[in-house]
Structures are given as C-alpha cells and as structure tokens.
Amino acid sequence: MINGMEVLETEGSSYERRSQRFQSWYENVFKWHPNFEYTPNQTINWTKIEKPMSEWKVGLVSSSGTHLRTQKPFDIVGDDGDWSYREIPADTDPKDLMLSDSHYDHSDADSDPNCMFPIVTLRELVKDGVIGSTSSTYYGFMGFVPMPQDLIAHNAPEVAQKLADEKVDVVIFTPGCAVCHQTLGIIQNIVEGKGMATITTTLKPELTEQVHVPRAAYLKYPYGYSAGPANDLEMQKEVITDVLNLVPAITEPGTIVKLPYRWHGRID
C-alpha cells in the first residue's frame, strides 16, 4: 500500500490476469492497425523529487489530441497517425481548446476538456497552494502513433528539452486511446531522463506496465476521462492531487498505484 492505495503487484494471480489482457489486446491490435510496432522502454529513467509539493513547478503533457482551436488539428485519418505536438499556453481559456482524435470517445471532453487535459485543475491547485506554479506552456499530442520512431528521435526529446528549459520539477501525463498509453509512456520516460519527475494516469494498466514507465496512477475510468469525471472540478482536483501525491511516495521505478475511484457515469 502507498498512501492507503493498492500497488499493482508484478507477480501473482492479478498480474497474470493483466498479462493475459495485454496479450489478448496485443494479438488483436494488428487487426485494427497492421503497422503497429510494440515499442516498450528498454530502461526506466528515474528522477527523485526533493522539493515539497508546495514548491513544485508542474508541467502537463497529454496524448488526448488537445489543441487550440486556432491551431492545425491533428491528422485523424492517416494510418500512420500523427506524432506532432501543439504548444498550449497554461493560461488558455478551456473554451479555446478542442480535441482531435478519432480513437476514443471524447464527447464529454469536448464540453469539458479539463477531464482529459487538466488545465483548470492545475490552475486551481496553484491557487489553493497545493503546488507552487505551473509551466507557462503545456503540450498536446494525438497519441495514435503506431510507429513511434520519429516521436522518439525528434518530438519527444524536443518537448522534454522545452520542459527542462522552463525548470519544471514534475510533469503529469494523461492518455487518450489504448495506443496512446504506449505513446505517452515513451514520452514520459524521455522527459524523466531530462531530470524531471513524472507520473502518468493510466486507464489501461496492463499496457502501461508492459511499456515500462517511471510511475503511474491507475484510474479505473473509461477512455475519455483520464483526469477525472467531466464537469466536476472538485473531483478533478481530488484526482489530480492524489496523482501528484504519488510522485514522492513511489520509490521504485515502474510502480503503478491504483487510485480509489470507481466510475459512476455513462459508458456508451
């Protein structure tokens, strides 16, 4: 247990069930995306956070397909996906955001992007004194990247360097679709290697643990709600605060902790 929450074991019956779910997904993903290349991190990067949370500068990276309405949408048609990213000012009004991704249902996030891209949540946590500040820029990816070579070689290191240049302490990551969990895990590990502590929420822990990420928080919600339920800012703040609290609490690379939330909304 960490902070009263369940740590996902890396052996035993629960792990075997997750491994079977991963294997089933892996065998079927090629039916949908024959060009998919499974690309787990070969080593897990690790950065220990020393500052108290109230002094952290927090960054945000999401593979939810979030971008400004004035920016070019992500390519949701091509079989090769889109490994580009969009820079989003942290003071952006959520009404100026939109999501371009055809691989998960983001109908609620269209009206409340904060449930996928917690821009308001982080602003509120600064106001409440939970964290010290945020980076001036957040980063949006469209996580459907079946072949991540260019992401690894160019775009992920670019974003990592930009976060490092802002002297960010901790970066939170939020996924969109299933393949997003691999994409985001790759970016997360590269950012961690630049000297920033990172944590991702995961909706698909059986894939996240096989990708080998530094830290993760399992939120047992459906796709489309990786930062909390829509239109419930207080719950969104509670979820993200719990996620951030796990950054110093997790001491072993690759640890995934199950958050104490259960879905009570609709699943179409």
215-253: pLDDT as tens digits: 999 999 999 999 999 999 999 999 999 999 999 999 999
Is 79 a residue whose pLDDT tops 90? Answer: no
Helix, strand, coil share of the chain (percent; to 5): 35, 20, 45
**pLDDT exceeds 70 at position 89:** yes
Asked whether residue 265 is assigned to any structural domain, the reply reads no
The two three-digit tokens of residue 13, written as one number: 């019956």
The reply to whether 79 falls in a domain is yes
Distance CA 186, CA 152 (A): 7
pLDDT at 265: 57
User: Is residue 266 a part of any domain in this protein?
Assistant: no
pLDDT at 111: 93
User: Does residue 177 fall inside a structural domain?
Assistant: yes
* 235 assigned to some structural domain: yes
Q: What does 12-55 look like in DSSP terms, one character per residue?
A: SHHHHHHHHHHHHHHHHHHHH-TT------SS-------S-GGG
pLDDT tens, residue by residue, 117-175: 999 999 999 999 999 999 999 999 998 899 999 999 999 999 999 999 999 999 999 99
Considering only CA atoms, which of 54, 20, 22 is closest in space to residue 38?
A: 22
**Dihedral angle sign, alpha carbons of residues 184, 165, 118, 234:** positive
Note whether residue 241 is domain-resident. yes
Confidence band, pLDDT 50/70/90 cuts, at residue 66: very high
What pLDDT shows up at residue 139? 98
What is the Cα–Cα distance from 161 to 164, expressed in whole angstroms? Answer: 5
The number of domains in the chain is 1
Average pLDDT over the chain, rounded to an integer: 94
Q: How confident is the model at residue 10 (pLDDT cuts 50, 70, 90)?
A: confident
Range with top average pLDDT, 17-26, 27-36, 102-111, 208-217: 208-217
Tokens of 245: 């609290």
d(CA 199, CA 217): 7
Backbone φ and ψ for 75, nearest 5 degrees, come out as -80, 110
Please report the pLDDT score of residue 11 as a whole number. 84
Rounded to 10 deg, the angle between the 119-127 and 233-249 helix axes is 80
Question: What distance in Å separates the CA atoms of residue 97 and residue 169, rounded to the nearest whole number?
Answer: 25
227 assigned to some structural domain: yes
Residue 266 has pLDDT above 50, yes or no: no
Specify the pLDDT at position 267.
40
What the block records as the tokens of 224 is 């489309």
More confident residue, 76 or 65: 65
Domain assignment of residue 240, given as a range: 6-258
Q: State phi, psi for 94 to the nearest 5 degrees.
A: -55, -25
Distance CA 257, CA 79 (A): 33
Closest by Cα among 120, 90, 110 to 239 = 120
Distance of CA 99 to the CA centre of its chain: 15
User: What is the DSSP pairing of strand 97-99 with strand 133-134?
Assistant: unpaired
> What residues does 43 pair with on adjacent strands?
none
